[in-house]
Amino acid sequence: MATRTACLPVALKPGDLIEISRGLYEHWAVYVGNGDVIHLAPTSEVAGAGFSSIGSLDADTAVVRRDPLWIVVGADSYRVNNKYDRRYSPQPVREIIQAAKEAVGRVMP
């Protein structure tokens, strides 16, 4: 696992689970390569605005989005958190990324 850091270069591999510390909660994303992550964001948020907002916790719905990691992380810290990969056999990376990409745009309750 990488250590928590501001959005500086960290050795990321496609399929890595990214844990972003928001202070009161953790935000999660899947790294899909080329600096992008796929994550859930409240439908009321626009790209690059308010990802670390506490209002995110109150949202009724969320949308699966693909955004640059640096925009999602902002000034918060993050780390790679693949801690269960040693305990459970993860799905192949290609399948993880394909499923994440297919979900982009989907609204979740």
Model confidence pLDDT, tens digit, residues 24-63? 889 999 999 999 999 998 887 655 444 545 555 566 889 9
pLDDT at 4 over 60: no
CA-wise closest residue to 7 among 80, 81, 75, 82: 75
DSSP conformation class of 55: G
Identify the structural domains of the chain with CATH numbers, from first to last.
17-108 (3.90.1720.10)
User: How far, in Å, CA of 54 to CA of 76, rounded?
Assistant: 13
The pLDDT tens digits for 76-104 are 999 999 988 889 988 999 999 999 999 99
CA distances from 2 to 21, 48, 54 (A): 14, 25, 25
- Report the predicted TM-score, pTM, of the whole model to 2 decimal places: 0.80
9 vs 82, residue with greater confidence: 82
CA atoms of 60 and 97, how far apart (whole Å)? 26
Please give the pLDDT value at position 109: 85
Q: How far is CA 33 from the centre of its chain?
A: 12
Q: What is the pLDDT of residue 1?
A: 43
Question: What pLDDT score does 60 carry?
Answer: 84
| pLDDT over 70 at 8, yes or no | no
Predicted local distance difference test score (pLDDT) of residue 14 = 95
Query: Which secondary-structure segment (H or E) carries 62?
Result: strand 62-68
pLDDT recorded at residue 101: 97
Q: Rounded to an integer, what distance in angstroms lies between the CA atom of residue 109 and that of residue 93?
A: 26
